[in-house]
Every structure is written in structure tokens, then in C-alpha cells.
Chain A
């Protein structure tokens, strides 16, 4: 195998007796957009700061093209970074901010001016060069920060929740800009967020963090369609968990008994289970249908609440075991009959779209 571009090896960081990052290993190919996703406090920033050089890892290594970065001080790592908080230099104009990394590198004036103009046009802020950061909106400030971080053509760009202070509309707008800039520059990006939509929108791959460990790393589809554990399944997208008893598994297709006694075969087993083991079956709300299909399993429910949202219905139903479930079937244009108008009925799902996880996981 060829040398990965950036490699994080067995990274561990403790603060006193508290372990913030347990054992993180990731290989990142050149040009990838990798997102660290996870709840607050799961060790995303700490991992990022170890790459930037603001945190010395307790153990482990960070390698860029095979060479360890750990002995290189932050200012010599030649890494670009955009922070969560606004970090523009308030006493310098926008152009001077973008020029700053080039000035400290003692680049000639002509090159600095050319690069500043190029960067400001990259982030679509031509004509703002003479303004001071105080006169810019939050979104504009973060775009200047992006221009500043890219001005010296760093091989890696780190971004720590750069959009979390912005409102939703602006956030989506700048996400699109970031995608475009990634495409145009080909820079390798490591992006931290706790917002799954942002992660899915931006990333080539997502590393989902939990308690200082990577729960799963893969494309958005991997995480949504093939979750490795219950945590991933519940963090990415929406999910229902139904208690179930495992009966047997052949070729990864498990047969289970649900709480109402019904037997379902062909669900995806995410690991080996023993006979009679307590498990939980995960079914996504959008995997439910209101009508049976060729190979669907049915679940008897009472309909508690239903609302029509055009593309789909949102239904709250209660199983015969008394568990409330979230059902979001897509609207059927060919059949306008509303089954949820009745008091009770059945909801259906394809067992191949349901996942079996061990029960009693600590969450």
C-alpha cells in the first residue's frame, strides 16, 4: 500500500485522569474532505488541535507524508486553520488579514498582492479588502478567515465548527462555498462539526466520534445504510429501536421474535448473536410503509397522530407492546387512501432494511 497523505496513529490525549481521546487511528488520502462528527465533548477538537500542534498528544503520532509532525512547532507546520470563534485580527484590514501569513513568510509585495486578490475572489469578497473586520457580518468574517487560512496554499486545512455561530440559512450558503472551494483548490480538509446534516452535505468521509473513540468511519451512506453500532444508527438519521429476541442467524440474515410474538426473518445482523440473546431491532422511520410489499414484515399498531407533509406522512404509532414509534412513509401518488385514518392497523418494513443490535448498550 502506498503511504497515506496524512496519518493519525493511535492518538491518545489525557487531561489529568480524564481521557479526552482514547485511541484514534485514521489514514487520510490527499484531497479528501473528512469530517469529525460527534456530540459535544467527544474529542473532535482535541484531535484536530493535536494535528495543528496546540495540544501535545499523550501518546500516538501524526504523520504527514510519512514524517512525524509532533516535533514541528505549530507555526512551522504550514497548516491552515479556521476556528469556531471569530479570529480575524481586528486592527488589520481584510486584505492585511489575508496577507498576514504571507508577510510572516516574507514573501515579496507583488506576490502578496496577487495572492490576496486571488483569495478574496475565491471567497467572493472582492472589494472588501479595505474594510476592517468589525464592519463585516459573521459569515463574511468566517469567509475572510477561510481566505487567510488558504493564502499560503497549505496542504491541509483544519476547520473547527466554523459555521456554528451562524444562522441556518447562512450556514447552508457557506457550506456550498466550502464545497466549491474544496473542489477548486483540491486541499485536504479536516472539518469538525456536531451537525450531521452539515457533515453529510460536505464530506467525502465522516469519522463519527464518541467518548474519545471513533465509533465508525466511512461515507455518509456507510454510516446511514450500514451503521456499525447502535450509537451510529441513532446519531445519523432517525431510528426506532424495538426490543427483540434473537433466534438464529444464517449468512448475516437473522431471525428474531418481536415483543408481540411475531417472528421476522432476514434482518441484518450487525454482529454474532447467541440463541435467545436479547437484541434491539433498528428500523428507520422512512423504512416503514403503510401497505405490504413483496417481502415485508408487518407490525400491528394503533395510530396516535398523523400529519401530511407532501412528500411523506409523519405518523406516531403505538405497538401492541406499548412502545411509541416514529413512522414516516413516503406519500404514494398512485393511491390516495389514508390508512392512518383508522384507529389501528399495521405498518410494514422490509427486514433487509432493519438492523439488529445487541441490547443494553451503554448510551
Chain B
């Protein structure tokens, strides 16, 4: 191979340094936020003059933060369920179906991933206002489902492509109805794809801010919207605390994912 790591010589050191730099560039801001959330300075001075948990106390004392987190979780969960169910059905049609315009349908379903989010947000905002879904949970969930759908379709389709249809046929000759065969044989066989779809879909909704800002109302705010809103009012370390918790949650979700994936694939 042209670029064999073992034969790079001194370049190897350079490569390591560069990789380290990129990683630091990506991770340091997060580390700073976490550090600042424990710092005693009201003005986010660094290095912090002392250490404290009072920002977390303030955070938990204000019910709006908790409520925003719960709203985020609720909307993300509903969007995930919908995206996975629709993604599953869409994947069967896209992978197994032979109909005219199949590629066009696939392209359409994946557009939310490439369309500038702001464009999508404005369009759906205007549309939902007109049909009375503006500022409702239903509208919020639908908007996030559309955004999450590509993230569900891609891993599920990939898993389904890799699944030999003969196995489903075997279940059918064994006496299972086509639906039962899918439920008892095909779905368990593509469970890793479905699981990945759920995680990606959840994250796509959980930390989404642009569409959320348009969908939100004073009584319906997700965590990213709340953070964004608070930032504009004042730069309080409480935001750092909220952000740290968000990071912690995402991180734990990813660790749990890795563990479950490992278990599923054995």
C-alpha cells in the first residue's frame, strides 16, 4: 500500500501530532464548558478562581430547565419511534420493491439530510402555521420525524440489503405467514440496523436546534432551544451546567449503544 502506517518513518510522528491537534480542537471546547460549569466565577473566568456546584443547584432549582429536558426526551422518543417504523416500511419498499420511480422516492426520503436545515425549517414552519400545527407537540414531532427519517432509512436499508431473502422464504415454507416471517425472522436478523436507526434518529432530534426554534412556543421548549434562548439573555454558568449534562447524556447514550451493539452482534 502506498500509505503504509508502519513505513511512514518520521512522518508517523507528524501524523500523530496532527491527529492529536484535530482531536484537541474538537474536544477542548467541550472540556472547557464542563470545567467552567464547576467554576465559581459568575463571569466564566478561566482558570476558575474556585470550584462550586451552585450552578447545578440553580439549574435544578429552576423547573423550566428540567421541563425543557423532559420535552426534548419526549419529542425525541416519539420522533424515533415514528422514524424507525416508517423507515422500516420504507426500507422494505426501497430494497425489495420493483416499482417505477423507486430511486426518486429514495432520493426524496433522504433529502432532509442534504437540504439546508434553515430552508426546511422555514418551509415547514410556514406550512404548519397554515394548517394549525404551529407550536404543537404533534407539529414538533412530525418535523423531527422528517429530519430523522434519513438516519433511520440508511442503516435499516443497509441491513436489509445484507439479509438473504431466501431465509425469509424458508420461514414462509415452514408455515409462517409473510408477516409472521418478517416479524420472527427478518426483524431479528436486521436488529443491529434497527437499533442503529433508533440511536441516530434519537440523536438527530435530541440535539436539533434550528427546526426546534421555529417549532417552539413559550410553553413548548426543548433543551437546545432553552440553552439558545438563555444564551441570548445572559451568559450564565448555568448554561455551562446544562450543556455539561447534555454532553453527559449523549456520551452515556453512545457508550450504552456500543455495549448493546457488541452484545447484539455476538
Interface residues of A (CB under 8 A from B): 52-54, 73-81, 83-85, 87-91, 100-101, 104-105, 145, 148-149, 152, 158
A101 partner, pick from B167, B174, B178, beta carbons under 8 A: B174
The yes or no answer to B107 lying at the interface (CB within 8 A) is no
Residues in A neighbouring B62, C-beta threshold 8 A: none
The residues of B that contact A105 with a CB separation of less than 8 Å are 175
Which residue in B166, B175, B181 is a CB contact (below 8 Å) of A83?
Answer: B166
Interface status of B172 (Cβ within 8 A of chain A): yes
B176 engages A104 (CB within 8 Å):
yes
Tell me the nearest residue of chain B to A82, going by C-beta. Answer: B170
Q: Is the CB of B164 within 8 A of A85?
A: yes
Sort A-B residue pairs by CB-CB distance and give the 8 closest, nearest first.
Answer: A87-B170, A101-B174, A81-B173, A91-B188, A87-B167, A104-B176, A104-B175, A75-B172
Instruction: Write the nearest CB–CB distance from A325 to chain B, whole angstroms.
Output: 44
For the complex formed, measure the closest distance between the CB of B128 and the CB atoms of chain A, giving whole angstroms: 41
In the complex the two chains form, what is the Cα distance from A81 to B176 in whole Å? 13
Q: Which residue of A lies closest to B167 (CB)?
A: A87
Residues of A within 8 Å of B171, CB to CB, are 89, 100
Between A and B, 19 residue pairs with Cβ closer than 8 Å are A54-B169, A74-B169, A75-B173, A75-B175, A76-B175, A79-B173, A80-B173, A81-B170, A83-B170, A84-B166, A87-B164, A87-B166, A89-B170, A90-B189, A100-B184, A104-B174, A104-B180, A149-B173, A152-B174
Given A89-B170, A89-B171, 9 further pairs, Cβ under 8 A: A53-B173, A54-B169, A75-B178, A77-B173, A81-B170, A88-B167, A89-B188, A90-B189, A149-B173
Q: Indicate if B66 sits at the interface (CB-CB under 8 A).
A: no
Q: Is B185 an interface residue (CB 8 A)?
A: yes
- Looking at B176, B180, B191, the one whose CB has the most chain A CB atoms below 10 A away is B176
CA distance A149 to B172 in the complex (A): 11
Bound-state Cα–Cα, A73 to B175, Å: 10
In the complex, whether B177 has a CB less than 8 A from a CB of chain A is: yes
Please measure, in the bound complex, the distance between the C-alpha atom of A224 and the C-alpha atom of B86, giving whole angstroms. 58
CB-defined contacts of A100 to chain B, threshold 8 Å: 171, 174, 176, 184
Q: How far is the CB of B127 from chain A (nearest CB, A)?
A: 42
B85 nearest CB across to chain A (Å): 21
Majority secondary structure of chain B interface residues (helix, strand, loop or mixed): helix
**Cβ contact within 8 Å between B189 and A101:** no
The residue of chain A having its C-beta at the shortest distance from the C-beta of B180 within the complex is A104
Across the interface, do B166 and A85 meet the contact criterion of CB distance under 8 Å? yes
Q: Is the CB of B180 within 8 A of A89?
A: no
What's the minimum C-beta distance from B187 to chain A, rounded to whole angstroms? 10
Q: How far is the CA of A84 from the CA of B176 in the complex (A)?
A: 20
User: In whole angstroms, how far apart are the Cα atoms of A52 and B171 in the complex?
Assistant: 12
Measured CA separation A348–B166 after assembly (Å): 52
* Alpha-carbon distance between A54 and B167 when the two chains are bound, in angstroms: 13
CB distance from B159 to the nearest CB of A (A): 13
Chain B positions within 8 Å of A91 at CB level: 188-189, 191
Contacts of A152 in B (CB 8 A): 174-175
Report chain A residues within 8 Å CB of B166: 83-85, 87
Complexed CA–CA distance, A85 and B191 (Å): 21
- CB neighbours (8 Å) of B175 from chain A are 75-76, 78, 101, 104-105, 152
Question: How far is B74's CA from A274's CA once the two chains are assembled, in angstroms?
Answer: 88
Residue of A nearest to B178 (CB): A75
Specify which chain B residues have a CB less than 8 angstroms from the CB of A78 in the assembled complex.
Answer: 175
Chain B nearest CB from A98 CB (Å) reads 10
Give bound CA distance, A73 to B180, whole Å.
14
Question: Within the complex, what minimum Cβ distance (angstroms) separates A96 from chain B?
Answer: 11
CA distance A145 to B189 in the complex (A): 17
B170 neighbours in A (Cβ, 8 Å) = 81, 83, 87, 89, 145, 148
Chain A residues whose CB sits within 8 angstroms of the CB of B177 once the complex forms:
73, 75
User: Does B178 contact A87, Cβ atoms closer than 8 Å?
Assistant: no
Q: Are A89 and B167 in contact (CB under 8 A)?
A: yes
Q: Contact at B189–A74, with CB atoms within 8 Å? A: no
Q: Shortest CB–CB separation between residue B151 and chain A, in angstroms?
A: 24
Residue interface bits B147-185, CB-to-A below 8 A is 1, else 0: 000000000000000001011011111111110110011
Closest A residue by C-beta to B163? A90
Q: Identify the interface centre among B166, B181, B189: most chain A CB within 10 Å of its CB.
A: B166
Chain B nearest Cβ from A145, distance in angstroms: 8
Expressed in whole angstroms, the minimum distance between the Cβ of B133 and any Cβ of chain A is 40
Q: How far is the CA of A60 from the CA of B175 in the complex (A)?
A: 24
The docked-state distance in angstroms from the alpha carbon of A145 to that of B166 is 12
Residues in A with CB closer than 8 Å to B188 are: 89, 91
